[in-house]
Amino acid sequence: LLLLCHAEEAAVIVSGLRSTDVFVGESATFTCELSHPGVKNVQWWLDGTPLHNNLVTEISEQDGRIHTLTLNDVACHDSGTVTFRAGSLISTAKLLVKGISLLE
C-alpha cells in the first residue's frame, strides 16, 4: 500500500532552472531536478521554440530525475527565456549572451 501511495504522488520540481549569463561562443547549462522519475512529456524550449538533441543542443537525463540542457557555442541571438516542461510542471530561466568588446 505504501508503494502504491508513492506511485500516485505527483512529481514536483526540487530544484528549478537558474538564469545564466555567458559570453558569445561559450556553453550555457540549465538543470532541473524532479522529486522522482517517470514524468512523461519532458520538453525544453528557447523563447517558445522546442529544442531537440543535436550538436549544438545537448539534452540529457540522469536517473529520470535530473534533466540537463546544454547550449553550445551560443550567439547573441540565443538570449531569451529557457523553459523546461515535464507533464504539468514548468520551470523557466533567462539566458543572457554577452558580446565580447573588442575595445581594449
pLDDT tens per residue across span 73-88: 999 999 999 999 999 9
Cα gap 72→30, rounded to integer Å: 12
pLDDT tens per residue across span 24-71: 999 999 999 999 998 989 999 999 999 999 999 999 999 999 999 999
What pLDDT does residue 10 have? 82
User: Which CATH number covers residue 92?
Assistant: 2.60.40.10
What pLDDT does residue 2 have? 47
Residue 8 falls within a domain, yes or no? no
Domain that holds residue 23: 13-98
Answer with the residue of higher pLDDT: 103 or 79: 79
Number of folded domains that form the chain: 1
Residue 103 falls within a domain, yes or no? no
Residue 76 zone, left/alpha/beta (φ > 0; ψ -120 to 50; rest): alpha
Residue 82 falls within a domain, yes or no? yes
Residue 5 falls within a domain, yes or no? no
